[in-house]
Structure 1
Amino acid sequence: MSSRLERVRSVLFLPASNPRAIGHARESAADLVILDLEDAVKREEKDSARSAAVEAVAGDWPMPVAIRLNSVGSEWHSLDVDSVARSKAEFAVLPRASSAHLVHEVAGALSKPLLAMIETAAGVLAAADIAPETAGLIAGTNDLAADLRLPAGAGRQPLQMALQTVVLAARAAAVPVFDGVFNDLDDLEGLTAECADGRSLGFDGKSLIHPRQIDACNRAFSPSEEEIARARRLVEAFGGGAERFEGQMIERMHVESAQRLLDRA
């Protein structure tokens, strides 16, 4: 796992064609910024967005920055790969990853760490093979819902199995994994609830589409003071083997989990 991704909670996507958004992102509290060349950019702005992204990552950023390529098979993909490979972007992001072979080829051409977006049924089924080829996985929930032909307004419940499959693949490969976006910019309560759901599924953080979502996301994916205090007590109290701690049986597995929480905090 890249050490630069170990504590990432908030993953902010923004159009590389929007210089104002890039300026705001640079000054934000996002843990990872992704300059998007794909869905967020109009066809007629693809070339200028690519140039803008390369120029933007050449400057200093307080957080790691990635560039999302256009998908394999699109007319812009090869140009994106060539430009991003020569850029100072720390990471690249591949949308609609559907096979380990495809991801391996793109990562090799880039010669830099690649995050793969799992956005299709094929991608979910191949996630266990894709994950070892990557620096991390991102669940693309909007595209996935469309690929699964879910009715509008179906919510996250029909996606639970797919999301858990993505998390399982990432954990087996020891790479970080990030939840999909929350679309309603004005519903911070809904965002907070979806962040809590994502954390309960095992995600390390969440994709975001606006800076106003960052604070709620960072809070939701950070251990609470109560969690930190209990983890410290558990680690300090453990004497080896199975034993009783605050009314529960614990063993080394629980200590390792508590130590991971402390490390993340």
Structure 2
Amino acid sequence: MSAAYRPRRSVLYMPGSNERALEKAKTIPCDGLILDLEDAVAPDAKPRARENVCAAAGSGEYGRRELTIRVNGIGTQWHDADLEAACAASPDGIVVPKVNTPKEVRRLAAALERYGAPDRTRLWAMIETPEAILKADKIARADERLACFVIGTNDLVKELQAQHVPGRAPLLPALAQTLLAARRAGIAILDGVYNNVQDVDGFAAECQQGREFGFDGKTLIHPGQVEPCNAAFSPSVAEVEEAEGIVAAWRDGQGSGVVTVNGKMIERLHVDIAERVLAIHAAVAN
């Protein structure tokens, strides 16, 4: 894994219309923030929210947190103004809801260029409709500006006419398909939100499921979800120790092709996995 790896274990939505929440976000130990202009903001509050989040993005007061702005969707009356203002604010990313086609990705990337967004401002596409799921592979590879998929599980459940159930069985095919697309394209992918902020056990189980699937992290709706999410998507002490042992044994074997660690045969692919674990551990420990 590259030394430039950036943790995205916990990415918290914050309503752009709530100035107190934007101030509080400066102290929350999440890896990233999505300053929201869409669902969390009433129509009459959207212009003021736009001013708030753009000021926040340009403030330099959020430390190492990855700072993104979620604009209103393509075709809405606010989209163009949101996009232009967000580009001028130069956040780390611009999150666009309901991206359904590779053509939309290319148009969004062209708009970022047109509005003067710096290269560091990447595009994050929300995948939350059946059309997007079925086109995920092409969407993921549509433009180099695209850096991340954000799975909109609430909208997807609605679109599928499914139900929210423990274990998320109705969503598993869609989650797997988007993960395959993201990994093929080499972009990040974030799991959807967990709605019941009081259900600690259910949230922990869904974080564990997301990590086992291969998500980079999870989007969150409450600050209280941040620390358990960080823990779930961080390597455990045992995982770090095992990874260190694998890498050390491989080096001691001087590239012999196969070594044995604790009775297990280790090949180059296992070393790659171990090095990724250690890179994540180093990134989140600092």
Length-normalised TM-score, structure 1 = 0.95
Deviates more, 1:170-179 or 1:239-248: 239-248
For 1:180 and 1:153, locate their aligned partners in 2 and report how far apart those are by CA, in whole Å.
14
Residues 113-124 of structure 1: matches in 2 within 5 Å? 113-124=122-133
Deviation of the 1:248 alpha carbon:
2.0
Residues 124-143 of structure 1: matches in 2 within 5 Å? 124-132=133-141, 133=143, 134-143=146-155
RMSD over aligned Cα atoms? 1.7
Residues 140-179 of structure 1: matches in 2 within 5 Å? 140-151=152-163, 153=165, 156-179=168-191
Deviation of the 1:6 alpha carbon:
2.5
Residues 55-66 of structure 1: matches in 2 within 5 Å? 55-60=55-60, 61-62=62-63, 63-66=65-68
Task: Decide whether the 8 Å contact of 1:15 with 1:36 is kept in 2.
Answer: yes
For 2:17 and 2:261, locate their aligned partners in 1 and report how far apart those are by CA, in whole Å.
54
For 1:149 and 1:155, locate their aligned partners in 2 and report how far apart those are by CA, in whole Å.
17
- The answer for the alignment partner of 2:81 in structure 1 is 79
Residues 33-48 of structure 1: matches in 2 within 5 Å? 33-48=33-48
- The answer for the alignment partner of 1:263 in structure 2 is 279
For 1:108 and 1:2, locate their aligned partners in 2 and report how far apart those are by CA, in whole Å.
28
Deviation of the 1:107 alpha carbon:
2.1
Task: Decide whether the 8 Å contact of 2:166 with 2:202 is kept in 1.
Answer: no
For 1:97 and 1:3, locate their aligned partners in 2 and report how far apart those are by CA, in whole Å.
30
- The answer for the alignment partner of 1:243 in structure 2 is 259
Matched residue SS, 2:135: helix
Deviates more, 1:122-131 or 1:207-216: 122-131
Where structure 1 has 5 or more consecutive residues not aligned to the other structure, the ranges are none
Length-normalised TM-score, structure 2 = 0.88
- The answer for the alignment partner of 2:29 in structure 1 is 29
**Letter of the aligned partner of 1:122 in structure 2?**
E
Where structure 2 has 5 or more consecutive residues not aligned to the other structure, the ranges are 282-286
Deviates more, 1:190-199 or 1:129-138: 129-138
Deviation of the 1:153 alpha carbon:
4.4
Deviation of the 1:160 alpha carbon:
0.6
Residues 172-187 of structure 1: matches in 2 within 5 Å? 172-187=184-199
Deviation of the 1:253 alpha carbon:
0.4
CA spacing shift, 1:193–1:67, aligned 2, 3 Å: same
For 1:2 and 1:175, locate their aligned partners in 2 and report how far apart those are by CA, in whole Å.
13
**Letter of the aligned partner of 2:78 in structure 1?**
W
For 1:192 and 1:36, locate their aligned partners in 2 and report how far apart those are by CA, in whole Å.
25
For 1:52 and 1:24, locate their aligned partners in 2 and report how far apart those are by CA, in whole Å.
14
Task: Decide whether the 8 Å contact of 1:9 with 1:31 is kept in 2.
Answer: yes
Which stretches of structure 1, 4 residues or longer, exceed 6 Å deviation after superposition?
A: 1-5
CA spacing shift, 1:154–1:253, aligned 2, 3 Å: closer
Question: Percent identity between the aligned chains?
Answer: 42
Deviation of the 1:242 alpha carbon:
2.9
Deviation of the 1:2 alpha carbon:
10
- The answer for the alignment partner of 1:91 in structure 2 is 93
**Letter of the aligned partner of 2:163 in structure 1?**
P
Deviation of the 1:189 alpha carbon:
1.6
For 1:254 and 1:182, locate their aligned partners in 2 and report how far apart those are by CA, in whole Å.
32
For 1:131 and 1:3, locate their aligned partners in 2 and report how far apart those are by CA, in whole Å.
23
For 1:43 and 1:102, locate their aligned partners in 2 and report how far apart those are by CA, in whole Å.
24
Deviation of the 1:5 alpha carbon:
6.4
For 1:202 and 1:96, locate their aligned partners in 2 and report how far apart those are by CA, in whole Å.
22
Q: Deviations over 1:16-51 (max 9, x none)?
A: 001111111111101000101111111111111111
The alignment of Structure 1 onto Structure 2 pairs a total of residues equal to 265
CA spacing shift, 1:70–1:179, aligned 2, 3 Å: same
**Letter of the aligned partner of 1:264 in structure 2?**
I
